[in-house]
Amino acid sequence: MSHRRDDIEIRPLKESEVDSAVDLVAGSMSEIPLFAWLLGAHIDDDEVRRWLASFFIAPHVARGGVEAAVPPTGPVGGILIWLTPDRADAPLPPSIQALSARILTSRTDIVDRLKTLRAVLADERRPGDYVDVLLSVVAPEFRGIGVPGRLVMRARTAAADAGLGITLSTTDAALGEAYERTHGAVLQKAYPIGPLTNYSYLISPE
């Protein structure tokens, strides 16, 4: 199903739409190199994919840190998760904590890769205050009509108001090139995460 740009509403994700956003991210994991690496042999396990999607999305909904592309009818077509420079605490909801404990108890390989990811990101984080874009996923039928650029606008406005830049990173080189074309992002560095190369970009303050 195709969509028209003017029909798509961009706004913070509502609690009632979280399941739809989880469906979107879980269904896209095999084409996102970082998620495919994190899940490894479990990439085809729907419960594990939905857990990881919930793990990323759920902590940021209450504080308004998940932008959504919402058509007049049907499921959420895109999301963007972003983090303000105060890096306000975004704890996992108890239900996700319980699910994480159950999922990870028998999947220690995922635990090891999550530890690797956290350690690398902590070591490589750019010094200073920035608005961080953590994740962006857009369904195929919502691409080519400007949805990715519109999803990032509230983060860009918040950054501009604070006189800050925006950081973005991806393990997909083609997506990094799109950041350069669409947002004027500049590659800052590239570094390994497991077998992948992560590309870190900066959109300078406006």
- Name the pairing type of β-strands 131-138 and 166-170: parallel
What is the pLDDT, as a whole number, of residue 40? 97
Give me the pLDDT at residue 45, please. Answer: 97
169 with 196: CB under 8 angstroms?
A: no
Q: What span, in angstroms and rounded, lies between the C-alpha atoms of 46 and 12? A: 26
Residue ranges covered by each domain of the chain: 5-203
Q: Which helix (H) or strand (E) holds 190?
A: strand 186-193
Helix 94-105 × helix 46-61 angle, to 10°? 150
Tell me the backbone φ, ψ of residue 186, rounded to 5 degrees: -120, 130
Give the pTM. Answer: 0.91
Task: Give me the pLDDT at residue 119, please.
Answer: 96
- Whose CA is closest to 102, among 45, 62, 29, 61? 45
Of 112, 195, 197, 19, whose CA–CA distance to 187 is shortest?
Answer: 197
CB atoms within 10 A of CB 89: 7
Per-residue model confidence (pLDDT) at position 89: 64
pLDDT of the chain along its 206 residues, tens only?
Answer: 567 777 899 999 999 999 999 999 999 999 999 999 999 999 999 999 999 999 999 989 888 899 999 999 999 999 999 987 776 667 788 999 999 999 999 999 999 999 999 999 989 988 788 999 999 999 999 988 889 889 999 999 999 999 999 999 999 998 899 889 888 999 999 999 999 999 999 999 87
**For the domain bounded by 5-203, which CATH number is listed?**
3.40.630.30
